[in-house]
Amino acid sequence: MREEEELNSIAYSKNVIEFITVASEFCSFLERSESLETPDFLGRLQKILPLLYLKASLLPEFEFEADDDLEKFVSEMDYNLIQQKILRHTGANDDYQEVFLSGMQFSESALTASISENVTDIYQEMKDLVMSFRMLNDEVMEQAVWECKNNFSQLWGQSLVNCLRAIHNLIYAENIQDEQDTAKNQKSESKNTNRKPDWLNDRFSYQGD
């Protein structure tokens, strides 16, 4: 009977299991990100964020009445450590101008957001969810999914798409600059290759009396 109840639990549904799998991979990726080169880190982040968004959007709708608050597993020290790992890759390009912040229509100046802060906020959500599932308690797991889905619609889903725009710009702005520098160097080399020898220039520029 117990096994049948577990199989009927929302926590064991296909879409939930797939979301947990991506969430776990996302957390592991950030935790080991100091071993990656920056282009590799940004490229992987660019790919896993949309997948996380897609899987979150497919989470089932269900009602849940929580008796107690869920245990939180990410400490302030954990949070700061992950943010610093991300900052190693984003550096001076970490801040970006935001267009979807609440209340920005009343601001007289541009509002800024942070890639590292956005991504770490999402990490905190995912890590708490993954750790809740490791407790293997159906009620805890269902509550964790329910809270994560609500927070997705109200908080971290918007943060995800906002910082993805900044990551996209960071990746392709650098690529464009690299391409422009390469084209400029090739053009300069071409000019040097096609330049006539000095003696030839002197010969054709000579005019007799």
CATH number, domain of 66, equals 1.20.120.1550
Of the candidates 116, 133, 120, 156, which has an alpha carbon nearest to the alpha carbon of residue 19?
A: 133
Query: Residue 186 has what pLDDT?
Result: 52
User: Domains in the chain: how many in total?
Assistant: 1
Give the DSSP letter of residue 10: G
| Full residue range of the structural domain in which residue 197 is found | 2-205
Question: For residues 130 and 27, is the Cβ–Cβ distance under 8 A?
Answer: yes
Query: Residue 184 has what pLDDT?
Result: 53
Average pLDDT per block of 10 residues along the chain, 209 residues long: 57 97 98 96 98 98 88 97 98 87 56 95 98 95 96 95 95 64 51 54 50
Question: For residues 89 and 115, is the Cβ–Cβ distance under 8 A?
Answer: no
Query: CA–CA separation, 71 vs 166, rounded Å?
Result: 32
- Phi and psi, residue 69, nearest 5°: -75, 145
Handedness of CA 120, 125, 130, 134 (dihedral sign): positive
Query: Residue 8 has what pLDDT?
Result: 73
